[in-house]
Structure 1
């Protein structure tokens, strides 16, 4: 019986991973066309691999590149506005399968998407203590259209999502590490009759080092990764302050800000900065990258107190300033730009690729046909997750559940900074960076409906007991999924909740099957494409 239980608990996650791999890898090389921003990242990745820096191309290179003439790039550098790591990852697939192979363009991004499904299940298992909820979280990500599309096009944002989620998982693991060592230190101090004072400075926190590394990797793909680093660094300090408060440390706030916060900074930020710099190795070791010799130009080098800084670092800093100015100032109108205020409602998804054909052309057997790749999330999943976000805000205010707070921190770090840039050109597909946390939030609601989440008591007093559990304000059911299924057949409330969840998951699966052709560029009748325009702004 025990072996059967273990097999069942492994069968669900394995099936989800297989499903995620199939929908992301099937027919990945189609279309054999550089879609949307692949026109930048694929060609930049190839020149980065060949030259060590992103190089310029002759006019109108895409048709030649797609035809297999991939080595027509120039030796001149190209001005690029994103760090190199994501392009190095794309280049690995091209190096393995050939730059002329459209599978090679996209396979690295697709594999990252599959690994993200695995990672969200591992995180959900730790976060919720339930194999069932972990499987549901992975399933939602496996079948959501936005996650599928962003895994099937060679853009950078899927890698941003993955490394940010990796850092999120490290912060999650650090909670237990921090709690156990803080409790042990305070117990030893009180056993000896000493005043705990401000409490300890915890220097050895390997999961914080891992988080700094992960967020550094995230920032080495796109600068927006620094928002995750900053957000979760603040989160870790707040967690430390609240833990000291619950444990009865007299100067808990001062200790968290003045004692532990500097240590947290040194654990997370230097490794992230070093990782970011390391991602630019190709630029540093070659001599022809963009702005590589800027400081050597007459009158360009710094003077005064900073004149001692090596010219290479001066040139690098100048390049980063130019990138920053580009990011904050870009406002070129685009037909698929989307105001961040509308992202959660999925008002303007990004069309990555569209080709219309007439009867008899390209296999079209109707008066007109369409091939489309549009980053429309599964509407049932996406809008349910947005509604769940409001419920999570309520639960955090009422019950102070740390799991809910951690999920909301992930959404805040990935979404709120974009509200500062309402004037610039941005796109709906940026939301992939925080989509995992939306799905984890939806999983919380599913857990409540299934009875897998017992509401925590509201925190009305400060628990100052010496041995107070730092997570005493949260109460989860134990991981007994098979027993829970049996309970649902007895409890009318849980049975109805189970039906609601099953119906939701079945409907979401049907909707994903319905939209799948529009996520993968499958040739369909034009009328079929029109059936998917649920909002006029989706055209």
Structure 2
């Protein structure tokens, strides 16, 4: 028993992290080519590191850059529409291993992918109070192809996922912190109340909530990679107000709703939002302290500076605001057709995964030893995991409406923040790989359902819902428990085999063309 406990505490999580690291770091430098949007972010990262702002490159610079000619950029600014933090992180790896080293291009995203597996296990352990479910959540994330691919290419979205998940975890930690201290403060007030001075009907405003400061920082970092991080900040800001209102109602506060909205919500805003804004502005330090950035001197142009009540605003901030407005206009208006664009309504079903890289060859060409060969990087998830997680998501929506479980609501808030806003942009050019931002919550939802099947989570659908999880578990037929566990183990084992089958087309390995075709399970995957 002691050996089993040690294995679940340390051995199994370490094995999952090691597996995640191997799948993300093995042969990371292949292909030595700028794949998909690496053509923007890698080169932008290097000019950002050297100039302090993103600048332009000569036409057809990719072959030269890939061959090691990495300092051919100009001093002219480039119009980029994403904040700088993700590119700064990419630049760290490039500076460490050299800008011409494709390992260096992708190192930061790979590290973020491995750390995200660690993070989801910590969150699952806190959320489900189960070491087994924490390991399962980490294992699913470690072996899913979509997560593997986005950890092996130098795009920004893996950083969005990681920092948003960090904020999600901080909000989870604040939940207990807030509930405990609110209950204590209310009890103290009731104990000191008299007939002449009754306990207040609103309850206290809680100012010291360090986990909210951490959440604000994390969501600020998310927004400093891509603007979509603002959706996480807004969604969980609303969530915190709702949680506070319900906590006050449970504790018998008379005016619980107005107290949450009018008393605690402004405090929550001040704890969460200013640090997020400051973090976002700090990510633009290179643009502020240099003079060459795009629109850096816009407000100094004839007739450009603001007049009237806002004329006092420093020209640098006016120029910055103009830049952000231009970037927003670009984002909402982007409708350029692309062969791998995917309507957000299809994302959950993985209809059109993104082909990041493909190179075909014939016998004797590029080392091909077959009649024809393929090298592909396709961001298709492990179908056995992805489709099961989607089915679990729909079940969780039903379950929230039926039983109003806080764990289910919390997981679904991750989906609300990461997925629902994209439904406002059905005509915009968007891609399946954006789903990495909310994939952790899909997998936490699947883990929740697995926990129900294994009776590791109290099931409110059962008559025993008022009893402890241990009591529920003791009432289950031992044979049923063993059979269910065997089914889950078989499912996870088959999922691992599917990962082994798909791994070559996630990592650009050269394979026979027929092998690549065997992975085209839908015509739209081609």
TM-score scaled by structure 1? Answer: 0.94
2-structure distance, mates of 1:6, 1:479: 24
1-structure distance, mates of 2:202, 2:423: 37
What 5-or-longer segments of structure 1 have no aligned partner? 460-472
> Deviations for 1:282-322, whole angstroms, at most 9, x for unmatched residues?
00000000000000111111111111111000000000000
Deviation at 1:6, TM superposition (A): 2.2
Are residue 519 (structure 1) and residue 511 (structure 2) matched? no
The match for 2:125 is 125
The match for 2:344 is 340
2-structure distance, mates of 1:363, 1:89: 34
What 5-or-longer segments of structure 2 have no aligned partner? none
The match for 1:492 is 479
Are residue 278 (structure 1) and residue 288 (structure 2) matched? no
1-structure distance, mates of 2:462, 2:386: 29
Residues 76-115 of structure 1 mapped to structure 2, 5 A cutoff? 76-115=76-115
**Secondary structure of the equivalent of 2:151?**
helix
2-structure distance, mates of 1:217, 1:190: 41
1-structure distance, mates of 2:516, 2:4: 45
1-structure distance, mates of 2:298, 2:468: 58
Deviation at 1:455, TM superposition (A): 1.1
1-structure distance, mates of 2:46, 2:358: 25
Contact residue 156 and residue 226 of structure 2 kept, 8 A: yes
Please give the root-mean-square deviation of Cα atoms over the aligned residues, in Å: 1.8
The match for 2:422 is 418
2-structure distance, mates of 1:258, 1:476: 36
Deviation at 1:196, TM superposition (A): 3.5
1-structure distance, mates of 2:403, 2:293: 53
1-structure distance, mates of 2:377, 2:247: 47
The match for 1:440 is 444
2-structure distance, mates of 1:373, 1:475: 49
**Secondary structure of the equivalent of 2:60?**
coil
Deviation at 1:141, TM superposition (A): 0.2
Which of the numbers 402, 406, 409 marks the counterpart of 1:405? 409
Taking a change above 3 Å as real, the CA distance of residues 5 and 261 of structure 1, as seen in their structure-2 partners, is same
2-structure distance, mates of 1:526, 1:290: 45
The match for 1:455 is 459
Contact residue 106 and residue 153 of structure 2 kept, 8 A: yes
Taking a change above 3 Å as real, the CA distance of residues 380 and 474 of structure 1, as seen in their structure-2 partners, is farther
**Secondary structure of the equivalent of 1:332?**
coil
1-structure distance, mates of 2:477, 2:427: 55
**Secondary structure of the equivalent of 2:43?**
helix
**Secondary structure of the equivalent of 1:158?**
helix
1-structure distance, mates of 2:105, 2:372: 29
The match for 1:40 is 40
Which of the numbers 393, 399, 402 marks the counterpart of 1:395? 399
Are residue 528 (structure 1) and residue 520 (structure 2) matched? no
Contact residue 66 and residue 100 of structure 1 kept, 8 A: yes
Deviation at 1:7, TM superposition (A): 3.7
Taking a change above 3 Å as real, the CA distance of residues 274 and 260 of structure 1, as seen in their structure-2 partners, is same
The match for 2:221 is 217
Contact residue 201 and residue 263 of structure 1 kept, 8 A: yes
Deviation at 1:8, TM superposition (A): 3.9
Deviation at 1:458, TM superposition (A): 9.3
The match for 1:257 is 261
1-structure distance, mates of 2:79, 2:27: 33
Which of the numbers 308, 312, 324 marks the counterpart of 1:308? 312
1-structure distance, mates of 2:251, 2:379: 47
Q: How many residues align?
A: 521
The match for 2:363 is 359
Contact residue 231 and residue 418 of structure 2 kept, 8 A: yes
Are residue 5 (structure 1) and residue 5 (structure 2) matched? yes
The match for 2:492 is 505
Are residue 171 (structure 1) and residue 164 (structure 2) matched? no
Contact residue 8 and residue 132 of structure 2 kept, 8 A: no
2-structure distance, mates of 1:331, 1:312: 31
Deviation at 1:477, TM superposition (A): 3.0
> Deviations for 1:28-55, whole angstroms, at most 9, x for unmatched residues?
0000000000000000000000000000
> Deviations for 1:252-280, whole angstroms, at most 9, x for unmatched residues?
00000000011111110000000000000
Which consecutive segments of 4 or more residues in structure 1 shift more than 4 A?
Answer: 473-476, 487-490
1-structure distance, mates of 2:365, 2:135: 43
Taking a change above 3 Å as real, the CA distance of residues 256 and 8 of structure 1, as seen in their structure-2 partners, is closer
Are residue 293 (structure 1) and residue 297 (structure 2) matched? yes
1-structure distance, mates of 2:265, 2:3: 46
Deviation at 1:2, TM superposition (A): 3.5
